[in-house]
Amino acid sequence: MNRTQRDKNRRNAAALASAARAKVLMGHTCENCGEKGGHWISTRGISLEGLVTGLDDSEGFWTCPKLYGDNGRRLAA
């Protein structure tokens, strides 16, 4: 397999992966605005300690458009 073909395969694989990710996200309904799409980006899941104590210590951030103004700043809750 030559280099051009390998690069093409890599691009194709990356495109398929992002399409699959988008499909998974669209299966989620946003808890904040109720629209389709994963508007919560989880950067760390709940820890084992969190599971034991029942305290949700997972971390992440919202990408929900309802939480940000036109200037991109987070709106006051």
User: Which residue ranges make up the site for Zn ion (CB under 5 A)?
Assistant: 30, 32-33, 39, 64
Residue type, 69: G
CA separation (Å) from 65 to 14, 42, 50?
Answer: 26, 16, 29
Tell me how far, at minimum, the Cβ of 42 lies from Zn ion, in Å. 14
Q: Does residue 34 sit in helix, strand or coil?
A: coil
Tell me how far, at minimum, the Cβ of 63 lies from Zn ion, in Å. 8
Tell me how far, at minimum, the Cβ of 31 lies from Zn ion, in Å. 8
Between 47 and 63, CB nearer to Zn ion: 63
Are the C-beta atoms of residues 50 and 56 closer than 8 Å to each other?
yes
Between 25 and 64, CB nearer to Zn ion: 64
